[in-house]
Structure 1
């Protein structure tokens, strides 16, 4: 039976985000021996179900197995509701195809080394892992668990504690170096806003050393990890 993979990302109108995702998918496809589609859930002229349907028509004229990998870092509404609804719609359209939604990327333990490598550049700094955050029950504890494994504290863009709150707390300590690593896959509006916020903080606190990491979707090892998931490697 033909095997196909679809990697679904949230999507963005940011040129840098789109370019980085395209680069990642090119690297992933080079390491997988079956057809792979990279698709946007939002921020695209082509709806997700339309893009996947065309992919199936091109590559699955006969019964096929399609695994869908949510390239999301938190188990929010998109992972728990939007994608299952899209898959149900596709299933009715392609009854000969077996669909499987894989665990969201953020649940995979392969991601921690990308973040640890960035933090390891300065072992004495106060570590902050900043994520988008979610108000959905059970989402943020996953980030807290990851941060604990990285010996870092957390800050969130959409929930509390916010980055402002976390930085204010550190100002009350003896910390002289802060290393902030974004828990984001690609560049875009939010990572750029975080960078601007940290620049302002650094200017207001000239005695503190500020280090800002990068979204990790551009790390070649991220493509390796995704390819391993799609191949079913342990």
Structure 2
């Protein structure tokens, strides 16, 4: 029997965990698997180990693991696979398969542009893409690729990138620079799936900067396209059209 285990990051902010659970639960209603469970990598229960155990107790012989992450950074490439390898040894009779994060997607960028309100501004804007940041060079390259996709839009004059952790330039520094040098509308796009402490940090920085043309877009899980893509990819894995080994985290 097949099971789906959705792995979210987790947050100290209860609101963020509730959002992640609601997002995945809404998708589960459209996924054709008899067993579906949600767990968190860190900071919130249930853990990955608890999620796997629950699937097995419900009769799962095959578990499709779906990471609810934007890009393949250290968590997706190292932390989750290491935990899954340990659990695979604990349950050798159960088959594990591991999916991809959302990754770099023109379809998602188009959906974000259409749903962010940028087209309603009426002027070409400077877009500040705010990413979490990573020490992983491939992840930073993915962020730059996403920025280039946004920059190709007719509504965008240029795209600047600011990071919230582990990479430079820092978001607050980049925002301050743009406020001082840009007369055009500044659209801040949090490239984050859910609310959380990082989103609260962005909101605080926007309140502190006195600029009459700053527009703060919603974070990404508000956009239906992310649910649709998650459902599509999960169904592909259920049909065994897609299989990514646990010890590999490939970029789509």
Q: In which range does the TM-score fall when normalised by the shorter chain?
A: 0.7 to 0.9
The CA distance in 2 between the partners of 1:218 and 1:52, in whole Å, is 28
Q: Which residue of 2 aligns with 1:111?
A: 108
Change (3 A) 1:45 1:15: closer
Contact between 1:68 and 1:100, CA under 8 Å: does it hold in 2? yes
Aligned match of 2:235 in 220, 231, 234?
Answer: 231
Instruction: Give the SS at the match of 1:106.
Output: coil
The CA distance in 1 between the partners of 2:54 and 2:25, in whole Å, is 19
Instruction: Give the SS at the match of 1:164.
Output: helix
Q: Which residue of 1 aligns with 2:138?
A: 138
Aligned match of 2:216 in 189, 205, 212?
Answer: 212
Q: Which residue of 1 aligns with 2:16?
A: 17
TM-score (norm 1): 0.88
Aligned match of 2:203 in 185, 195, 202?
Answer: 195
Task: Kindly state the Cα deviation for residue 173 of structure 1 after the two structures are TM-superposed.
Answer: 3.5
The CA distance in 2 between the partners of 1:83 and 1:178, in whole Å, is 36
CA-atom RMSD in angstroms: 2.0
Higher mean alpha-carbon deviation, 212-221 vs 22-31, is at 212-221
Instruction: Give the SS at the match of 1:180.
Output: strand
Q: Which residue of 2 aligns with 1:7?
A: 6
Per-residue CA deviation, residues 22-52 of structure 1 (Å, 9 max, x unaligned), is: 2112211111010222110001244321222
Task: Kindly state the Cα deviation for residue 59 of structure 1 after the two structures are TM-superposed.
Answer: 3.5
The CA distance in 1 between the partners of 2:120 and 2:79, in whole Å, is 38
Change (3 A) 1:106 1:137: same
Change (3 A) 1:121 1:6: farther
Instruction: State how 1:38-187 maps to structure 2 within 5 Å.
Output: 38-60=38-60, 64-117=61-114, 118=116, 119-122=118-121, 124-151=124-151, 152-158=159-165, 159-187=167-195
What stretches of structure 2 of length at least 5 have no aligned partner? 152-158, 242-252
Task: Kindly state the Cα deviation for residue 107 of structure 1 after the two structures are TM-superposed.
Answer: 4.4
The alignment covers a number of residue pairs equal to 226
Change (3 A) 1:121 1:7: farther
Task: Kindly state the Cα deviation for residue 74 of structure 1 after the two structures are TM-superposed.
Answer: 2.7
The CA distance in 2 between the partners of 1:106 and 1:8, in whole Å, is 16
